[in-house]
Structure 1
């Protein structure tokens, strides 16, 4: 016998309930969307004041909150930090037992509490006031203690929670999250924060790899570059290709400047002519004289785009004097997760 209030486990009953699930889900989106519109309509001078104070601050933004508000505060701190505004999360309960020492007098405190009466946060206010910290708050009750004590209060009150019991924080946490995003984006734009700046704080992410990883970080250099002199034979070039395992070899003059390129593809085309003697044929007769190359100061993602556009699997890297300073193939880009 099923326990009242539980999800039916019988497949037939679950299938019959599916339309109700979808309707419930759509209602949540509708309720939370109305909540977001209500909060957006109240963005005013207080929001601008909060942004200006953060922008002027020489310290960090210390985000704090209990329960669900704490989870939102963590996310806001992470978003601020990754978009040019130094920030971190501080648990208000732990703050009362020593973690308050992380907060300097140059920091701004951003406290989240929908009720505005969270004991753990209110307990910190005297210490923050003595230290002279600017206090920004987000609450759903403009008349609450936390709202009244704030230097700047941001009203995140919503008409209703999406939870039909009006108990679980749903619309209110969505509104808090959106307000945090609004602060981060407004500050990002005010600072002139760029994609390059974003990449520097996300070196392990896909964007960081695209914007920060240079050819020099992934290419083979020095003795690992496959290259033969102009007077080498086809056989000597094949031995060099076999040793370096990049599917190609550069052909260079005495100064190391590029004269041509010989690849696996060139080899297949050359061997199609049965009259070729690999030991007697000079590499200069069968090499590609104007191969596709890339500069040593280019980004790795540019190499990936060039390979894709020209339908090739390997590139030689040249300096300003056309000396061969590196070589890479598509496998090097795959290992670096550029493609």
Structure 2
């Protein structure tokens, strides 16, 4: 009988639920153990003039890479140093100004323990994340974070499962505590994620996307209606902006305004631009975030927002398509 023939769907779901329960219980049991040593670890990193060098072998190494990335993206300069490579030159990446975060569930990783004496002679603060307080790693460490678990989610109690989840969560807890202590804000996060959605929302301003100059359908109040319509058609914004001699916005005439005039049977031929449209158009300043313009469009149910300075002078216009092209929305 093949493996697929022996497969029991109900058993698979049962095992999955049990694994999740074991790992969830491991995290719940770890939380009450956080105390002075965790606070000392946060303080040591805050006082660090260099970077956090994260080390770990095997599965702990994979977790360590993620912790280093999380720290770096939340305001704590960090890098991952492979312990095996550290013994062959990469230890030069660590300086006396750095803090080392060393991960090992057993605390007896040969490759990691081999570099600990060198790090101690260098005077580096060593934060150990281990499941054994009596391990070699714990004895060498300046600060010990207890990541121990009662048992692994693996039914054989062999494969690192609950223990790596505990390490990952403890690393996240450290990053969150540091983030809060540094006063790290959304804007700071966006600066380290300029290519992401949040980065675009928090770093892109209206002035970066707005249409300006000759791209604007701009007319004066005495512009004949037919000429205003030609300007609207040529600039493809679905509106015409009526400005005075000093470029202050007087009115906006939209496709919707045109439809309503036609429905009322108004004779359009004798009209001037200054006689039609809205006198209170929606606008934002150029230094507003592009996402603010998007919010205004959504709330007002419009597709174009004007850009004006503090004196009401026209600077540009931004269309919903501009926001979509820039992936702000």
Instruction: Please report the TM-score for the alignment, with normalisation by the length of structure 2.
Output: 0.95
Residue aligning to 2:117:
126
Deviation at 1:176, TM superposition (A): 0.4
Question: Do structure 1's residue 295 and structure 2's residue 285 form an aligned pair?
Answer: yes
Unaligned 5+ segments in structure 2 are none
Unaligned 5+ segments in structure 1 are none
* Secondary structure, counterpart of 1:109 in structure 2: strand
Deviation at 1:223, TM superposition (A): 2.2
CA contact (8 A) 2:60 2:105 kept: yes
Residue aligning to 1:281:
271
Match of 1:44 among 35, 38, 41: 35
* Secondary structure, counterpart of 2:70 in structure 1: helix
CA contact (8 A) 1:31 1:162 kept: yes
Deviation at 1:282, TM superposition (A): 1.0
The superposition leaves residues 196-241 of structure 1 with CA deviations (integer Å, 9 ceiling, x where unpaired) of 2222222222222222221111111222222111211122222222
Distance 1:48 1:311 in 2: 50
CA contact (8 A) 2:105 2:132 kept: yes
Structure 1 segment 1-339 matched on structure 2, within 5 A: 1-2=1-2, 6-8=3-5, 17-274=8-265, 276-278=267-269, 280-339=270-329
The superposition leaves residues 30-89 of structure 1 with CA deviations (integer Å, 9 ceiling, x where unpaired) of 111221122222212111111111111111111111111011101111111121111111
Deviation at 1:277, TM superposition (A): 4.0
* Secondary structure, counterpart of 1:272 in structure 2: helix
Distance 2:183 2:75 in 1: 9
CA contact (8 A) 1:199 1:208 kept: yes
Deviation at 1:95, TM superposition (A): 2.0
* Secondary structure, counterpart of 2:195 in structure 1: coil
CA contact (8 A) 2:221 2:275 kept: no
CA contact (8 A) 1:32 1:171 kept: yes
Assess, with a 3 A threshold, how the Cα gap between structure 1 residues 46 and 233 changes in structure 2: closer, same or farther: same
My pick for the range that moved more, 284-293 or 140-149, is 284-293
Deviation at 1:268, TM superposition (A): 2.0
**Aligned residue pair count:** 329
Distance 1:296 1:7 in 2: 62
CA contact (8 A) 2:149 2:162 kept: yes
The superposition leaves residues 279-314 of structure 1 with CA deviations (integer Å, 9 ceiling, x where unpaired) of x42112222222222222221111111111111111
* Secondary structure, counterpart of 1:123 in structure 2: helix
My pick for the range that moved more, 121-130 or 325-334, is 121-130
Deviation at 1:270, TM superposition (A): 2.7
Assess, with a 3 A threshold, how the Cα gap between structure 1 residues 225 and 116 changes in structure 2: closer, same or farther: same
CA contact (8 A) 1:270 1:286 kept: no
Distance 1:102 1:264 in 2: 63
The superposition leaves residues 256-284 of structure 1 with CA deviations (integer Å, 9 ceiling, x where unpaired) of 11011111212222333555344x42112
